[in-house]
Chain A
Amino acid sequence: MYALIADCVSKSFGTRRVLSSASLRAKSGEVRAILGRNGEGKSTLLKIAVGRLQPDSGIVRVGDTTFLSASLPVLATHGVFYLPDHELLAPAYDLDRQLGFFERRYGRRLRHDAARLARVEHLLDRLPASLSGGELRRAEVALAITCRPTVLIADEPYRGITPADHDDLTDLLRSMAAEGCAVVVTGHEVPSLLAAADHVTWCTDGTTYELGTPEQACAHETFRRGYLGPRFGGLSPASRERRAGPVS
């Protein structure tokens, strides 16, 4: 069951065609990694899927509802949560207040429970500017945990955080998937993304290719040649350890 589908999406910026026929499918209980070189349209596809950009053609479907012209505020009420590649938290409010907004808005989980699960309970009185990169990411995921989305779209969540924080983030994403959330992530941190993912999608030349599991993706000759590079050593044993478990 796909929780979110962005199908046959095309998008141009001026004369530059970024996406010609790309698709994104987010499946409940699964983490999908969208990989591709810079400028191949990964972030554009994600922004279209969450209604931050309007496609030239294509549709977005969330659950049973099809949107020709989606917007994030509307999709959010259908259970979509968007974690952008830059800061999500508002600089002016402490974390507790922002978690409180989501607790009150969606009423699906107490903010203190979400903070505990994301290990940010000691940061509740802090402003976003005083958090480290890893703390900031965990705090942002805590917002998502509070609203228990059916779909989480995370654009480059591993960017700019330490390897130890990568593991924490992977655990959080996998825990959300274990709860039934459809998680989609992009980025270039291949080991972490492959460790987190159940399924890999390759975004290249304006379109997308479903490569299957990380193992199948790593064995895909064209993908290896075109994206991973000749020195890629394959999945490490550690990356295959998935410490999944329900969040609640």
Chain B
Amino acid sequence: MPVAAQIAIPVILPRAAVLWGLIRLVVAALPLAAGLPPGSISPSPIGVVLLTGVVGLVDVQVRGERILWANLGVSPKLLYAGYATAAILGEYLLALVPR
């Protein structure tokens, strides 16, 4: 693994896992807010992964870390991949849960 990724991934993965969890919670709460039965909206796992990546980039911006990562040679693509990877792992684990 490139050194830039070795530095970024351990920092990004835990916060990406939290972000993925929050996104999943919001998605689960949406039907309740809309007065629909629970579970009536089931987003595609791919959609959640893509959304986590996008929100992750916003998260980096809000945290004021964009230039720091850029000076470290960490591209937005790599940051996106870090966030998306946590979401993929989360979606995989979620798929294993019996319903």
A residues adjacent to B (C-beta < 8 A): 52, 71-74, 76-77, 81-82, 84, 87-92, 98, 101-102, 104-105, 143, 147
Contact = CB atoms under 8 A, between A and B. Distances in A.
Given A71-B75, A90-B63, A90-B65, A104 B7 contact: yes
B69 A105 contact: no
State the 9 A-B residue pairs at the shortest beta-carbon distance, nearest first.
Answer: A72-B70, A73-B75, A90-B65, A76-B73, A77-B73, A73-B70, A90-B68, A105-B72, A73-B73
B71 A72 contact: yes
Interface of B: 3-4, 6-7, 63-65, 67-76
Contact of B68 (A71, A77, A88, A104): A88
A52 B76 CA distance: 12
Contacts of B72: 73, 76, 101-102, 105
Contacts, number: 55
B71 A147 contact: yes
Contacts of A52: 70
Contacts of B71: 72, 76, 81-82, 88, 102, 143, 147
Contacts of A105: 3-4, 7, 72-73
A74 B71 CA distance: 9
Contacts of B69: 73
B67 A72 contact: yes
A74 B72 CA distance: 9
